Structure 1
Amino acid sequence: MKISKKIATVLFTVFFTVLASAQDKKPLSPAASAYGKINEANINIIYSSPSVRGREIWGGLVPYGQVWRAGANAPTVFAVDREITVEGKKLPAGKYSFYIIPEEGNFTIIFGKDRSMSASKYDSSQDQLRITVKPKKKTNLTESLEYSVNSNNVTLTWEYLEIPISVK
């Protein structure tokens, strides 16, 4: 079977157009990071940032009462180069996996020693620190999950919630 030169050229063009457009697509949960200093401690948070895209997040996509990796694709990494105090409890310098267990009232924040764990293989014996915080409701939508390192806290903001975590 012989393919004409014109058909081969069209197929070649279509193939490479599709291939090029697939490479240009933005991932649904792109890699992101937040960096800042609180007192003398450098804090770096590395995560994947999912979007709301019309979904119910808290109690929906992120179920209440279950460990969530605080981002998409892999556990979020929380790195600090000096000991800090988080909600009144000491956290040594190091790199930690960062998890959240949301509840309708307070949220449990977990700093884990094993950064290779996924939420589905979470092991509480690897916890370095657990704290409880109260999320704040917001009136405006934050479409993509974002972390910020501020002068006295680290804040996770997504959908209609803000989760401030006191750091000294």
Structure 2
Amino acid sequence: MKKTLLTLSIVIAVVLAGFIILRKYTKSFSPSSVASYHEKGIDIDVNYSQPGKKGRYIFGREQDKALVPYGKVWRTGANEATVIKIGEGISFAGRPVKPGSYSLWTIPGQSAWTVILNSETGQWGTSYNDGQDLLKSDVAIRINPRVEELFKIYFQDQPNGTNMILSWDQTEAIIPIQHQ
């Protein structure tokens, strides 16, 4: 009995160490980042990972071997699902959202994107459950004249709030946010 417990403990320790090493390894390619906005009654923190372009074709048609194909759900970053924490009630992409933590997903398109807030958080980025969607809304995109090597999220002040910008390669999705 003691030998079985010892063996089981060793196996668990090895698996746990392997998981920690693998996580650290993947984070080295797509580092963690935080984007925050705390003004005008808007209180938002976004935790995400930043994949790199690395010479790859990022947004486009699936048959053209785009890394993030048009019309497919994307985890909006790398590694774990991107998490957005909202501290006050806001209008997010034109829809009311209560305070809380949500995972952020997108469906890139050629002329617009769909942004999704999902109630499930903490999952690995490819485990998307559309049954937990709280919000789906289309948002505008624009072309960035310079190439953004690392995916990044940043905020751009607007008269009545802010725009949360999802920027990678030469594409920027614009999510309007206002205080409710």
The reply to whether TM is greater than 0.5 is yes
Q: From the superposition, tell whether residues 30 and 122 of structure 1 become closer, same or farther in structure 2 (CA, over 3 Å).
A: same
Question: TM-score scaled by structure 1?
Answer: 0.80
Residue equivalent to 1:74: 80
* Partners of 2:142 and 2:173 within 8 A in 1: yes
Residue equivalent to 1:39: 40
Residue equivalent to 1:161: 171
Unmatched 5+ stretches in structure 1: 1-22
**Partners in 2 of 1:102 and 1:66 — Cα distance?**
7
Unmatched 5+ stretches in structure 2: 1-23, 61-65
What secondary structure does 2:150 align onto?
strand
Residue equivalent to 1:125: 131
What secondary structure does 1:27 align onto?
helix
Q: Which amino acid aligns with 1:40?
A: G
Question: TM-score scaled by structure 2?
Answer: 0.75
Q: Which amino acid aligns with 1:36?
A: Y
**Partners in 2 of 1:48 and 1:61 — Cα distance?**
16
| Stretch deviating more after TM superposition (147-156 or 53-62) | 147-156
Q: Confirm or deny that 1:92 pairs with 2:95.
A: no
Residue equivalent to 1:51: 52
Query: Going by fraction, where is strand more abundant, 1 or 2?
Result: 2
Match of 2:143 among 137, 140, 164: 137
> Displacement of 1:118 after TM fit?
4.3
**Partners in 1 of 2:101 and 2:149 — Cα distance?**
27
Residue equivalent to 1:150: 156
Query: CA RMSD, aligned part only?
Result: 2.0
Between Structure 1 and Structure 2, whose CA radius of gyration is higher?
1
**Partners in 2 of 1:163 and 1:153 — Cα distance?**
9
**Partners in 1 of 2:103 and 2:126 — Cα distance?**
13
* Partners of 1:33 and 1:44 within 8 A in 2: yes
Name the % identity: 31
Question: Which 4+ stretches in 1 moved above 2 angstroms?
Answer: 116-121
**Partners in 2 of 1:125 and 1:137 — Cα distance?**
32
Q: Which amino acid aligns with 1:157?
A: S
What secondary structure does 1:135 align onto?
strand
* Partners of 1:84 and 1:91 within 8 A in 2: yes
> Displacement of 1:120 after TM fit?
3.7
